[in-house]
Chains A and B, each alone.
Chain A
């Protein structure tokens, strides 16, 4: 296992002249005494200070807490104690995660008047216990209802590869912070694509685990029946180590179905021999630009995939996810919509209200369909282990774009970013987004979704590791 981590640390980026330290190498160098946790933290703070005026990924910094934790880790090492796997690794979280002492703003203005959180979210506690150093909270779409992180209250998050472009959303700050080299590991949430879309547009690794794998306790909800949480990172090994640290059954979250920890790191270097890997066609191909198709083709060639597979009822699955999202999201905020609608994000408030007014029969039909959908999708995985498709139809559009074209068809830009992610998360399947770099996008990335059957994150991570080691997927440096 140690060899796997060390090998992975050498493979920490592709196609870039800029060296970006990954979480695994940082933890190892601290454990060996080559750098102190305080030095690593200071470097991260300096990077944030130098770049965040342009990127606008961070909304809060937790510097006192971070410095105290770094010093505690350095003292632990000085006493000769063994260090946990992420000891000294700076991380940050989307600002819908509870952080002790801060109001959980969830991208909103309204939540800023809430009392400060009494404790950390479950997953923040998990990373803290693994030695991670929480450095702050990150920009997002208000209440996670968006794919662009054009947040009027905190300002838009800018794509570190092209500052006039969106970072994607709703976890835009989480992807941008990793892409900008501010921190090697972040957490976000994904209801319909909010980890996968920004990972794709910012060119970083992202993991949306199986629905129910990770506890959501201590996070501000958006759509309880669809919300997932997961990590972003700058290498597959960092993503895997972070994911393993996050795992743990939580009987206090009724939506956490995991009953045991399934460590993925010991499986990571097993390769893809014997795995049945297919390429999603039909709906997914029709909604992918030529650039998006090209990165899937490259990933498929690298993984030895040739067959095209049809995902059952993808368009209907997307419609059902849309209806459920609108109803639950609108209903959740009905009280403030009655009295404080003018304080909501202008891009979201009318959609929230429309959702709150939807007939209940639409919602119930969508939830009844979800049972059938699950069975059809799970049947697909009797024949396949991994399926590939783009994470976004195109690369990042300019901030403020209202309409985009995909293969000659005009689509509203913001919801279109989730066209390829919604059908997958509606089934609850785990997905790793592999950052890839097509021709014809002015150097901007498009991610590939590496999809596995429910509870098989290990397979998706193995395939992602092959893509990274083959040099076809990985993060690239930025000029900031």
Chain B
């Protein structure tokens, strides 16, 4: 995404969201969005298939049952 592309995107989406942007601010936001785009591209390295669901309400692991805590590794 070039800076020009980013600025064009920012201007049009901001209008869609009724978010007024002065030209200076639009330029700065476009720079941030271009950086975000580079970071988002990192995620393209991971193949995902249709069955990989959202982590909607995230839970890092099932809450342990009573008796599952401690002891197993010291």
Q: Tell me the nearest residue of chain A to B33, going by C-beta.
A: A354
- A403 interfacial contact with B, CB 8 Å: no
CB distance from B34 to the nearest CB of A (A): 9
CB distance from A240 to the nearest CB of B (A): 15
A225 surroundings in chain B (CB, below 8 A): 55, 57-58
Q: Tell me the nearest residue of chain B to A412, going by C-beta.
A: B35
User: Given B10, B25, B28, B54, which contacts A371 in the complex, CB threshold below 8 Å?
Assistant: B54
Given contact pairs A211-B60, A275-B73, A371 touches B20 in the complex (Cβ within 8 A)? no
User: Given A334, A358, A385, A459, which contacts B36 in the complex, CB threshold below 8 Å?
Assistant: A358
Q: Tell me the nearest residue of chain A to B21, going by C-beta.
A: A353
Given contact pairs A319-B43, A357-B14, A453-B61, A365 touches B19 in the complex (Cβ within 8 A)? no
CB distance from B58 to the nearest CB of A (A): 6
A369 surroundings in chain B (CB, below 8 A): 43, 46, 48, 52
Is there contact, CB below 8 Å, between B54 and A368? yes
Q: Complex formed: what's the CA distance from A225 to B60 in Å?
A: 11
Given contact pairs A274-B74, A372-B52, A354 touches B29 in the complex (Cβ within 8 A)? yes
* Chain B residues numbered 33-63 whose CB sits less than 8 Å from any CB in chain A: 33, 36, 39-40, 42-46, 48, 52-61, 63
Given contact pairs A225-B55, A364-B54, A341 touches B25 in the complex (Cβ within 8 A)? yes
Q: Complex formed: what's the CA distance from A260 to B63 in Å?
A: 9
- A254 interfacial contact with B, CB 8 Å: yes
Q: Complex formed: what's the CA distance from A356 to B19 in Å?
A: 10
A454 surroundings in chain B (CB, below 8 A): 60-61
- A315 interfacial contact with B, CB 8 Å: yes
Is there contact, CB below 8 Å, between A366 and B43? yes
User: Given A275, A358, A367, which contacts B55 in the complex, CB threshold below 8 Å?
Assistant: A367
- A231 interfacial contact with B, CB 8 Å: no
- B18 interfacial contact with A, CB 8 Å: yes
Q: Complex formed: what's the CA distance from A313 to B69 in Å?
A: 28
Is there contact, CB below 8 Å, between B70 and A428? no
Is there contact, CB below 8 Å, between A316 and B46? yes
User: Given A260, A316, A358, A427, which contacts B60 in the complex, CB threshold below 8 Å?
Assistant: A427
B9 surroundings in chain A (CB, below 8 A): 357
A271 surroundings in chain B (CB, below 8 A): 74
Is there contact, CB below 8 Å, between B63 and A455? yes
- A475 interfacial contact with B, CB 8 Å: no
- A135 interfacial contact with B, CB 8 Å: no
- A77 interfacial contact with B, CB 8 Å: no
- B64 interfacial contact with A, CB 8 Å: yes
Is there contact, CB below 8 Å, between B33 and A378? no
Is there contact, CB below 8 Å, between B32 and A262? no
User: Given A212, A275, A313, A316, which contacts B74 in the complex, CB threshold below 8 Å?
Assistant: A275
A371 surroundings in chain B (CB, below 8 A): 52-55
Is there contact, CB below 8 Å, between B17 and A356? yes
Q: Tell me the nearest residue of chain A to B74, going by C-beta.
A: A274
Is there contact, CB below 8 Å, between A455 and B10? no
Q: Complex formed: what's the CA distance from A429 to B52 in Å?
A: 21
Is there contact, CB below 8 Å, between B53 and A368? yes
* Chain B residues numbered 1-39 whose CB sits less than 8 Å from any CB in chain A: 9-10, 13-14, 17-21, 25, 28-33, 36, 39
Is there contact, CB below 8 Å, between A372 and B46? yes
Residue of A350, A351, A369 ringed by the most chain B CB atoms within 10 A: A350
Is there contact, CB below 8 Å, between A319 and B40? yes
Is there contact, CB below 8 Å, between B25 and A353? yes
Is there contact, CB below 8 Å, between A428 and B69? no
User: Given B17, B43, B55, B69, which contacts A323 in the complex, CB threshold below 8 Å?
Assistant: B43
Q: Complex formed: what's the CA distance from A454 to B43 in Å?
A: 24
Residue of B9, B31, B54, B57 ringed by the most chain A CB atoms within 10 A: B54
* Additional pairs, 6, CB under 8 Å, beyond known A211-B59, A355-B36: A257-B59, A275-B74, A319-B43, A326-B36, A356-B17, A357-B10
Identify the A interface with B (CB < 8 A).
210-212, 225-226, 254-255, 257-260, 262, 267, 270-276, 313, 315-316, 319-320, 322-323, 326, 334, 337-338, 341, 350-351, 353-358, 362, 364-372, 374, 378, 385, 427-429, 453-455, 458-459
8 interchain pairs, CB-CB under 8 A = A211-B59, A267-B70, A275-B74, A354-B10, A354-B33, A362-B43, A372-B52, A453-B61
